[in-house]
C-alpha cells in the first residue's frame, strides 16, 4: 500500500463534497500569524475545538491551501474501542520516513519515538505543520505526547494543530486535565469554532426558496448539517434551478434527523469528504418520500 504524500491529508478521500467556509476568515488569519511565529522559532500548539460538523478539518485544509513553503504531516485518533497507542504518531511516522518511520516499524519505546518525533518536527529548513485530529479520542500515550510537545514547541520551528470536540469531554476525561496544564504553556493557543450566524446560513442557502431562519434554528448553525441540507435539496454548481422547490421546516428537520441517525460513526470519522458524501447519500435515501 503506497504511503500518503507529505503535504496531503491521508485521512481524506477524493474531493466529493466540499463544505463552504463561511465566517472563518479571522481564524485563518490567526493561524497565519501563528505560522509566522513558528517560522521564527517560536512554535505554537493550537488547540482547535468545536462540536462535530463545525468545520475544524475544513478550516485546516483551507489554511493549508493558502500557506506556501510548508511541510505538512497528518495524524488522527480513531473512535474505536481499542485504539492503537500512539496511532497518530504512527500515521505521521509513515509520512515522514527516516528514523521515526523505522522506530514505528520496530515498535520502539515511547521515549525513543517521542525524541525522534521532536527531532523530525524541528529538522526541516522550512516550517513543519503537524495536524493531529480528534484528540478527544486520544489514548493515554497520545495525550502524553501532546503534553510533551506543549512544553517544548515554544523553542521549535513547528506548528502543531490539534482538533477536538469540547462538547464530548466529560469532567474526568484525561484530555481535560492535560488541556488545563497546556494552557499554562507559552506555546499554547486556543481556538474555538462557533456555529454559523443566521446571515451565514442565508448566504449558504443563496437564492433557493428555503427558510434560512428555520434552517439556522434547526441545525443550530452547524455548517455540516446546513451544507448537507443543500446537497440533499439539489443545490450543486451545475443544478441550482432545475430542482429548486420549497422546503418546509418539517423537511429540513427530516434531513437533519436522518443525518444524525445515519451519521453515527460516520460523523465520528473526522467529517471527511468521503464520510460526508456517504452520510448525504443515506439521508437522501431516507427522506425523499417526505
Residues 68 and 48 in one domain: yes
Tell me if 5 is assigned to some domain: no
The whole-number pLDDT of residue 264 equals: 44
Final residue belonging to a domain, choices 192, 211, 245: 192
79 shares its domain with 183 = yes
The answer to whether residues 139 and 232 belong to one domain is no
Looking at the structure, tell me whether residues 137 and 68 fall in a common domain.
yes
Rounded mean pLDDT for each run of 10 residues along the chain, 290 residues in total? 42 48 93 97 96 92 95 95 92 95 94 96 92 95 95 95 92 90 94 93 80 84 70 46 44 55 44 45 44
Question: What DSSP assignment string belongs to 56-124?
Answer: HHHHHHHHHHT--SEEEEEEE---SSSPPTTHHHHHHHHHH-HHHHHHHHHT--HHHHHHHHHHHHTTS
Q: Do 211 and 160 reside in the same domain of the chain? A: no
Q: Is residue 263 part of a domain?
A: yes
Distance separating alpha carbons of residues 151 and 135, to the nearest angstrom: 17
Of 169, 192, 215, the one marking the end of a domain is 192
215 and 261 within one domain: yes
Residue 17 belongs to some domain of the structure? no
Domain assignment present for residue 156? The answer is: yes
Same domain assignment for residues 33 and 157: yes
43 lies in the same domain as 138 = yes
Q: Give the end of a domain, one of 171, 192, 213.
A: 192
Supply 269's cell numbers: 470519522
Q: How far apart are CA 19 and CA 225, in angstroms?
A: 10
Dist CA 187 CA 211 (whole Å): 44
Query: Sheet harboring 127-133: ordered strands across?
Result: 70-76, 127-133, 158-164, 44-49, 188-192
- Cα separation, 228 vs 218, in Å, equals 13
Quote the DSSP letter at residue 238.
T
Give me the domain span that covers residue 270: 198-287
The reply to whether 30 and 145 lie within a common domain is yes
Residue among 220, 285, 275, 278 nearest 255 (CA)? 285
Place of cell 480513531: 78
pLDDT at 262: 47
The reported pLDDT for the residue numbered 107 is: 87
- Is there a domain that residue 4 lies in? no
Residue 249: closest CA among 213, 220, 225, 284: 213
Whole-prediction pTM: 0.77
Whether residue 9 lies inside any domain: the answer is: no
Any idea how long the chain is?
A: 290
Whether 16 maps to a domain, the answer reads: no
CA distance 91 to 107: 13
Torsion-angle region of residue 156: left (phi > 0), alpha (psi -120 to 50) or beta?
beta
Same domain for 182 and 230, yes or no, is no
Q: Please report, for residues 75, 97, 111, 245, the alpha-carbon distance to residue 102 in angstroms, rounded to integers and kept in the order given.
A: 17, 7, 14, 57
Judged by DSSP in three states, 192 sits in: strand
Which CATH number characterizes residue 54's domain? 3.40.50.300
| Residues 99 and 187 reside in one and the same domain | yes
- The CA distance from 187 to 69, in Å, is 22
**Number of compact structural domains in the chain:** 2
Pairing of strands 44-49, 127-133: unpaired
Residues 6+ apart with CB under 8 A from 50: 56, 165, 166, 192, 193, 194
Quick check: is 106 in a domain? yes
- DSSP annotation of 214 reads H
Q: Are residues 115 and 173 in the same domain?
A: yes
Amino acid at each position: 500500500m503506497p504511503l500518503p504524500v507529505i503535504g496531503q491529508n491521508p485521512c481524506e478521500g477524493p474531493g466529493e463534497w466540499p463544505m463552504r467556509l463561511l465566517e472563518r476568515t479571522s481564524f485563518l488569519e490567526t493561524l497565519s500569524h501563528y505560522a509566522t511565529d513558528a517560522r521564527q522559532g517560536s512554535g505554537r500548539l493550537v488547540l482547535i475545538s468545536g462540536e462535530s460538523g463545525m468545520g475544524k478539518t475544513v478550516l485546516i485544509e483551507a489554511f493549508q491551501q493558502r500557506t506556501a513553503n510548508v511541510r505538512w504531516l497528518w495524524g488522527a485518533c480513531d473512535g474505536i474501542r481499542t485504539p492503537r497507542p500512539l496511532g497518530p504518531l504512527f500515521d505521521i511516522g509513515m509520512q515522514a520516513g527516516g528514523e521515526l518511520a523505522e522506530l514505528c516499524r520496530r515498535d520502539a519505546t515511547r521515549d525513543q519515538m517521542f525524541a525522534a518525533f521532536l527531532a523530525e518536527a524541528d529538522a526541516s529548513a522550512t516550517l513543519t505543520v503537524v495536524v493531529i485530529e480528534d484528540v478527544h479520542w486520544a489514548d493515554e500515550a497520545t495525550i502524553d505526547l501532546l503534553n510533551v510537545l506543549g512544553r517544548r514547541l515554544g523553542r521549535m520551528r513547528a506548528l502543531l494543530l490539534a482538533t477536538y470536540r469540547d462538547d464530548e469531554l466529560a469532567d474526568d476525561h484525561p484530555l481535560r486535565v492535560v488541556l488545563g496544564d497546556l494552557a499554562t504553556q507559552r506555546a499554547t493557543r486556543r481556538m474555538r469554532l462557533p456555529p454559523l450566524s443566521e446571515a451565514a446560513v442565508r448566504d449558504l442557502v443563496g437564492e433557493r426558496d428555503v427558510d434560512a431562519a428555520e434552517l439556522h434554528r434547526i441545525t443550530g448553525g452547524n455548517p455540516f448539517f446546513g451544507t448537507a441540507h443543500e446537497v440533499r435539496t439539489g443545490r450543486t454548481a451545475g443544478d441550482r434551478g432545475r430542482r429548486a422547490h420549497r422546503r418546509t421546516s418539517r423537511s429540513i428537520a427530516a434531513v437533519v434527523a436522518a443525518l444524525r441517525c445515519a451519521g453515527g460513526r460516520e460523523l465520528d470519522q473526522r467529517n471527511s469528504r468521503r464520510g460526508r458524501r456517504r452520510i448525504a447519500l443515506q439521508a437522501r435515501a431516507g427522506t425523499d418520500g417526505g
